[in-house]
């Protein structure tokens, strides 16, 4: 019903998980109460990518308060124009200004049983599966930005001169660029490893996804800061489009599960 239009870009979607009081399963307050052959959903979601203009909403709600993550959360897919859904204003963010972020309020929203994605009570599994894919693949864009910064920084270091000498000849600059190169190659390989695991090692995929997400997002932050340092005043000016990447990169340590949460997941996978 929704996938063809989402695949060709005719429609966009938002994943409604995060709430004002937290994003853990124990904190989830959005409820879906049985109503005949369907449900009525009530609650508020926030910090949602694409929420201000989304056509399709994937919302996670509690269907059994006692079970919660152990079979008490259900995922629902519905049209954003469904009566009872109210959009909040676009939220101003530090970076990633080309991506809209907002909130949604579900005010006794009536949905039919066919709005359930998967099975009733499988919401936690649906979410974790989706996040595993997201954490594995979103880093590809970050690797691309890191490569772009590396290329731009090398060009600048070759052309900018101090006392008639290219700044790239100074060890303090060349070593920063060398580190940028090593980080981008490591990030690229981790991204490939995480993506490969999705198809070939599904039991290990969640671990590789978390390792990939943490390393690449933090390498992206370091690369963007190094680029600003190497370009100096020009790097700080908005017109050169480098300082923007610093602001954008910070978001990568927060979205799709914070890096602190991912470190805890990695520790658990290691038996710690």
The catalytic residue positions are 134
Classify residue 90 by its DSSP letter: P
Report, in angstroms and rounded to the nearest whole number, the Rg of the chain calculated over CA atoms.
Answer: 22
- Cα(123)–Cα(72) distance, rounded to whole angstroms? 8
3-state secondary structure 210-247: HHHHHHHHHHHHHHHHHHHHHHCHHHHCHHHCCHHHHH
Instruction: Name the phi and psi angles at 59, rounded to 5.
Output: -120, 140
In 3-state terms the chain splits into helix, strand, coil percentages (rounded to 5) of: 50, 20, 30
Least Cα distance to 147 among 96, 111, 181, 101 occurs for 181
């Amino acid at each position: 019903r929704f996938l063809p239009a989402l695949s060709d870009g005719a429609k966009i979607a938002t994943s409604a998980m995060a709430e004002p009081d937290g994003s853990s399963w124990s904190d989830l307050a959005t409820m879906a109460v049985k109503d005949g052959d369907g449900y009525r959903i009530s609650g508020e979601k926030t910090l949602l990518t694409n929420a201000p203009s989304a056509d399709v909403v994937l919302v996670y709600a509690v269907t059994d308060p006692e079970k919660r993550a152990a079979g008490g959360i259900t995922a629902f897919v519905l049209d954003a124009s469904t009566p009872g859904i109210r959009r909040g204003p676009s939220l101003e963010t530090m970076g990633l200004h080309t991506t809209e972020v907002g909130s949604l309020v579900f005010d006794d929203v009536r949905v039919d049983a066919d709005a359930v994605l998967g099975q009733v009570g499988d919401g936690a599994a649906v979410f974790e599966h989706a996040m595993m894919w997201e954490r594995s693949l979103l880093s590809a864009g970050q690797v691309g930005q890191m490569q772009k910064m590396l290329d731009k920084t090398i060009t600048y270091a070759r052309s900018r001169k101090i006392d008639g000498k290219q700044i790239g000849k100074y060890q303090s600059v060349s070593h920063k660029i060398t580190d940028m190169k090593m980080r981008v190659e490591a990030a690229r390989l981790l991204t490939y490893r995480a993506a490969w695991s999705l198809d070939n090692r599904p039991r290990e995929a969640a671990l590789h996804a978390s390792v990939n997400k943490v390393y690449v997002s933090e390498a992206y932050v370091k690369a963007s800061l190094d680029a600003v340092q190497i370009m100096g005043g020009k790097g700080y000016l908005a017109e050169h489009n480098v300082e923007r990447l610093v602001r954008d990169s910070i978001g990568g340590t927060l979205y799709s599960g914070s890096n602190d949460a991912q470190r805890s997941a990695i520790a658990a996978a290691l038996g710690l």
